[in-house]
Structure 1
Amino acid sequence: MDKIDRKILKLLQEDSRIPVTELAEQAGCSRTACWRRIKSMEETGLIRKQVVLADREKLGVPVTVFVNIKTREHEPGWLEKFARTVDQFPEIMEFYRMSGDVDYLLKVVVPDIASYDNFYRRLIQSISLSDVSSNFAMEEIKFTTALPV
């Protein structure tokens, strides 16, 4: 990646619907060169996909919960089962295997605390977990999907 690629990627992360002509102008290259660079980034997997970011409040899922999970199970088969289980819960936005005191971290969005309780009950019925603790986000101070380039 050179300076122009970085500029294109930065601009696309801010607004993926920016017209190629405008993108090329801001990145300092021709429209054709800009289009080729974008296609190259897509082909190499640098640009994985383009998505729409929806407003959680307007969709009725304003509550964000970070769920810390500990388990006594550490076999690959169990993790595969857990990953399949997580896929069944649309409330789970992100899923990480962690280092340190917690084995897994989930980012969950729900309408309210009662909905989270319902989610929690369904989760613990779906798979064996040793310890589940939840932290409710009080305020979203920074949110971005743009990676530093």
Structure 2
Amino acid sequence: MNYVESSRLIKSEDLNHHGTLFAGRMAEWFVESSFFGAAKIKGEANLVCAQIHDIRYLLPVHSGEIITFASKVIKVGATSMFVYAKVLNMNGDKVLEGIVRFVSVDENENKIPHNITLDEPETDEDKELIKMIK
């Protein structure tokens, strides 16, 4: 599966007291971009974030930088979808990566099957990403 991408410009209001991107803001955008990856394959927005399995902050981000979020579904269960997301800086360096689990729900917020299947992972990258799920 291909990545779904989105970008953000880092502004002064996004910074912490060290002058770098506030981790909470990054986490918010990370979950949002992960949702984009899940919604792209699901085709509707009846998904909720159930768990953030892992976020690894790898490099600082500064004001004025543009960062790109790339996400894709790497594994599905009957009602859940596991999305891998990474964030790249303007040089293409990975500044963050992690996994989020979304669950498909009905109008009463009960879990429902999403009826999505994925092909077995073919690339070494996808096989390694699946190993990140704990």
TMscore range, shorter length: under 0.3
More strand by share: 2
State the structure with more CA Rg: 1
TM-score (structure 1 length as normaliser): 0.23
